[in-house]
Amino acid sequence: MHNARDAMDVAGPAEESAIEAYGVGRRYRRGWALRDCSFRLPAGRICGLVGPNGAGKTTLMAIAANLLEPTDGTLTVFGEAPESVQAGRRTAFLAQEKPLFRRFTVAETLRLGRELNPGWDQRAAENVVRAGNVPMEARIGTLSGGQRTRVAFALAFGKRPDLLMLDEPMSDLDPLVRHELMGVLLAGAAEHGTTVLMSSHILSELEDVCDFLLVISAGGLRMAGDVDELRSAHLRLQGARSGADAGPAQGGAQGVPAELAGHTIVEYRTSGRQVTALIRPDGPVAGQWQTDTPNLEELLLSYLRCPDAPPLISPVAQVPGRAHGFDDSRASA
Ligand SMILES: Nc1ncnc2c1ncn2[C@@H]1O[C@H](COP(=O)(O)OP(=O)(O)OP(=O)(O)O)[C@@H](O)[C@H]1O
């Protein structure tokens, strides 16, 4: 698959931020959906937004797309407020529920896209629709869920945004269509230097696609940064359990052997005499362990299983004055 970072090198300054969030929070009547979220997403990246159901992913994207106002903090899109005309022109959001006018035909839907968006690319939008053999004269209300998703994707894609946000875009698509549309998305992003922020629960698919990652749970940021950097900051350990398991390790995991004290323990699991751990090593690891670098899915699964693991926000994802943007004591508030 294509990699948007290749495009970024050509497209412009590496340091421009597509999104900067400073202490962003959103409170509903039931409580906080998002809390003290601080990070930057550099322009030109393909970013996976990962977290369990109800973690706050849609809330975060809706704030960046100017569909919701934050209760706390500020967020900018290419340096502008989300409600500004400039940010609105440069941003497209493909929402989970794909809001389209059911009585409009596909052609009328695309025409509306053309009328509303100065930079509209009719050919790109039509190509997406035609590749799925969706008739231009069909009314939206008569289309299958997957076909509607395709039209909504064409609408977002035809806008030629600089920041394209997709909320679980592939959930109702068959595997071949998923593969095809992902190819269209990545080729377009590489060609135009588009920043993509995409929430997904399909971790294995993110591996081929993303070069940046935001992980949230309980409304707080758990991990953010460059995929390769985040992966290589961790080690997966496998070994046999010894009799002398004890000792406090940084990170607060229970029952870990003393030889791992001093490393940050993200996850420590035993099954019979077999031990599997994911750690952030602080120096060489003592003991008889088989070690390897986790793949993206393994890394994400560990963080999803262990929401209390200490957060890791890599320098490229940090905004000034807010090194981590997450306060553990707030996670359960
Ligand atoms: N309009 C609303 N009123 C009250 N609570 C809301 C509203 N919208 C979202 N929430 C709550 O905010 C929290 C975050 O919701 P959000 O939709 O952002 O999660 P998500 O990470 O996108 O979840 P999923 O993976 O299930 O799509 C949830 O607890 C949800 O119930």
Mutate to test the pocket of ligand 1, among 30, 170, 197 (most ligand atoms within 8 A of CB): 30
pLDDT tens, position by position, 105-158: 999 999 999 999 988 999 999 999 999 999 999 999 999 989 999 999 999 999
| Separation CA 290–CA 273 (nearest Å) | 15
| Separation CA 113–CA 25 (nearest Å) | 31
Using the mean position of ligand 1's atoms as its centre, give its distance from the Cα of residue 101 in Å.
24
Provide the 8-state DSSP code for 310. Answer: P
Q: Which residues line ligand 1 (CB under 6 A)?
A: 28, 30, 33, 51, 53-59
Mean pLDDT for the chain overall? 86
Q: Against a cut of 0.90, is the pTM above it?
A: no
Shortest-distance atom of ligand 1 to CA 55 = 21
How large is the average pLDDT for residues 159-184?
90
| Separation CA 333–CA 269 (nearest Å) | 27
Is residue 243 over pLDDT 60? no
| Separation CA 8–CA 30 (nearest Å) | 41
Residue nearest ligand 1's atom 2 by CA: 28
| Separation CA 279–CA 175 (nearest Å) | 34
Residue nearest ligand 1's atom 4 by CA: 28
pLDDT band at residue 322 under the 50/70/90 scheme: low
Contact present, 317 and 268 (Cβ < 8 Å): no
Residue nearest ligand 1's atom 12 by CA: 33
Q: Which of 5-19, 178-192, 228-242, 268-282 has the lowest mean pLDDT?
A: 5-19
Residue nearest ligand 1's atom 24 by CA: 53
Give the pLDDT confidence score for residue 253 in this predicted structure.
52
Is residue 204 over pLDDT 90? no
Mutate to test the pocket of ligand 1, among 24, 29, 50, 58 (most ligand atoms within 8 A of CB): 58
Shortest-distance atom of ligand 1 to CA 59 = 18
Q: Which residues of 293-303 are buried (b: 16+ CB within 10 A; e: fewer)?
A: ebebebbbebb
| Cβ count within 10 A of residue 53 | 6
pLDDT tens, position by position, 260-293: 888 999 999 888 888 899 999 998 988 889 999 9
Using the mean position of ligand 1's atoms as its centre, give its distance from the Cα of residue 325 in Å.
20
Is residue 4 over pLDDT 80? no
ipTM reported for the complex, 2 dp: 0.97
**DSSP character string of 243-300:** TTB----BT--SS-BGGGTTSEEEEEEEETTEEEEEEE-SSPPPSS-EEEPPPHHHHH
Using the mean position of ligand 1's atoms as its centre, give its distance from the Cα of residue 133 in Å.
34
